[in-house]
Amino acid sequence: MTDVLTEEQRRYNMSRIKGRDTKPELMLRQLLYKRNIRGYRLHHSLPGRPDIVFVGRRLAIFVDGCFWHKCSIHFVTPATRTEFWMKKIDGNVRRDRIVDAELAAAGWNVLRFWEHEVRGNPEKVVEKIASCLHGPC
């Protein structure tokens, strides 16, 4: 099936997809702030560019989108350009595993949350982060 948009229109649409400061990420940051959990960095230059980093505690937090990182609950295989999208998304998943291994090898704790976890039960996510900050992960 051919794309219904022109190449320029498709490029514009794709450029509007945010890679940072997404709604789930902002929601999580607001709750961390309310809980007086501060002192984190945003999009630190570590491998994978974690969304939130607590440098002193060596904790890297990622908020992964269900589509872009292939959530086992919400991911739906695209109906058009399936081969292209699956190659891209499977590459994201592989890169996530590599980044996790690199960070762990460098002594970092990594927490990954799905966007549906942050949207559905943000307090539980904040509690998990707080427990990692105050003790072992």
Q: pLDDT at position 137, please?
A: 82
Apex 121 CA angle, 48 and 58, nearest 5: 35
In the predicted model, residues of the chain with pLDDT beneath 70 are 1-2
Q: pLDDT at position 119, please?
A: 96
Q: pLDDT at position 130, please?
A: 97
Length of the chain: 137
Q: Which residues contact 65 (CB under 8 A, 6 or more apart)?
A: 22, 115
Return the CATH number of 18-134, one of 3.30.565.10, 3.40.960.10, 3.40.50.1220, 3.40.50.1000.
3.40.960.10
Q: pLDDT at position 94, please?
A: 98
Q: Which amino acid is at 90?
A: D
Q: pLDDT at position 4, please?
A: 83
Q: pLDDT at position 48, please?
A: 96
Q: pLDDT at position 3, please?
A: 75
Phi then psi for 63, rounded to 5 degrees?
-110, 105
The count of other CB atoms within 10 Å of the CB of residue 115 is: 22
Q: pLDDT at position 34, please?
A: 97
